[in-house]
């Protein structure tokens, strides 16, 4: 959708957030999670998370135009490993053997997926580095959202973060001289609904119910899906290493969930 939008990359990020606001507002009311102004400390955490998210989207959307879809998504999700590592550090414990194996396998899979970055053009490197910066910024957003989920429900928190982020992206897009108003609203509306309302909505909900390790590794499914979209829609090359990398990430996701299933079974709960 970012590639199909006829506005600048930062403008696309602004519309992604702005167009999602009315949907998030009415969904919050429907799910009895009314939007309200939080206390000063929580508002500060939310605004900080929105800053990281806005900067992440600006960098990532630009990278999407400069490299392969799979690479942009993969490097943009380096936050998966950083967020998982932060969760382990915050819990002050080392990963179990299965969790360590899942991390290693996911890293190998990610390495295989990014190994073909220079296949199409050496210019991919600039886009890859920009997407890598986006991934680092996204980690700050995830940490802030996890802090906010301790006091706010998922939909009000996402609404406030999206509103703050849109307010930050609009002047940046205007300052860069980008085309702001689209001729075709369809890609931007689909971007807002798929990525922000449903994608971020599910992610913010999951962050309040799953460990950072599970959330982080699950986010690595995005590069595999984006690589597949790039192959089907944009005729981007998928090598055998790309396929093996995607399978390795899928196996890592199974491994990282095994300890939790074993614990639930031992406690007599359904798995």
pLDDT tens sequence across 179-188: 999 999 999 9
pLDDT tens sequence across 93-117: 777 777 788 888 877 877 776 665 5
pLDDT tens sequence across 165-222: 999 999 999 999 999 999 999 999 999 999 999 999 999 998 888 777 778 777 777 7
At 163 the pLDDT is 96
What number of other Cβ atoms are within 10 A of residue 237's Cβ? 13
pLDDT exceeds 80 at position 139: yes
From CA 147, how far away is CA 151, in angstroms rounded?
8
| pLDDT bucket at 50, cuts 50 / 70 / 90 | very high
pTM for this predicted structure: 0.78
At 245 the pLDDT is 79
From CA 62, how far away is CA 96, in angstroms rounded?
38
Q: How far is CA 1 from CA 11, 12, 39, 68, 225, in A?
A: 13, 9, 36, 14, 14
């Amino acid at each position: 959708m970012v590639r199909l939008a006829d506005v600048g990359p930062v403008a696309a990020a602004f519309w992604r957030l702005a167009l999602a606001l009315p949907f998030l507002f009415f969904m919050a009311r429907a799910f009895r999670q009314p939007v309200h102004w939080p206390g000063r400390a929580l508002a500060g955490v939310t605004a900080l998370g929105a800053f990281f998210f806005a900067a992440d989207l600006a960098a990532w959307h630009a990278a999407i135009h400069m490299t392969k879809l799979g690479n942009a998504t993969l490097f943009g999700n380096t936050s998966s490993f950083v967020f998982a590592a932060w969760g382990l550090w915050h819990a002050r414990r080392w990963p179990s053997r299965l969790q360590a194996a899942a991390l290693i396998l996911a890293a190998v899979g990610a390495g295989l997926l990014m190994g073909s970055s220079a296949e199409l053009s050496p210019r991919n490197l600039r886009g890859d580095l920009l997407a890598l910066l986006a991934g680092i910024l996204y980690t700050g957003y995830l940490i802030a959202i996890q802090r906010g989920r301790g006091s706010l429900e998922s939909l009000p928190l996402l609404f406030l973060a999206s509103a703050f982020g849109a307010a930050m992206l609009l002047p940046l897009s205007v300052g860069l001289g980008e085309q702001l108003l689209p001729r075709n609203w369809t890609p931007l509306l689909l971007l807002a609904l798929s990525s922000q309302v449903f994608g971020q909505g599910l992610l913010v909900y999951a962050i309040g119910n799953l460990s950072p390790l599970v959330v982080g590794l699950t986010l690595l499914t995005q590069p595999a899906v984006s690589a597949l979209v790039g192959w089907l829609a944009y005729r981007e090359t998928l090598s055998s290493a790309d396929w093996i990398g995607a399978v390795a990430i899928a196996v890592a996701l199974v491994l990282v969930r095994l300890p939790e299933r074993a614990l639930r079974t031992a406690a007599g709960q359904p798995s």
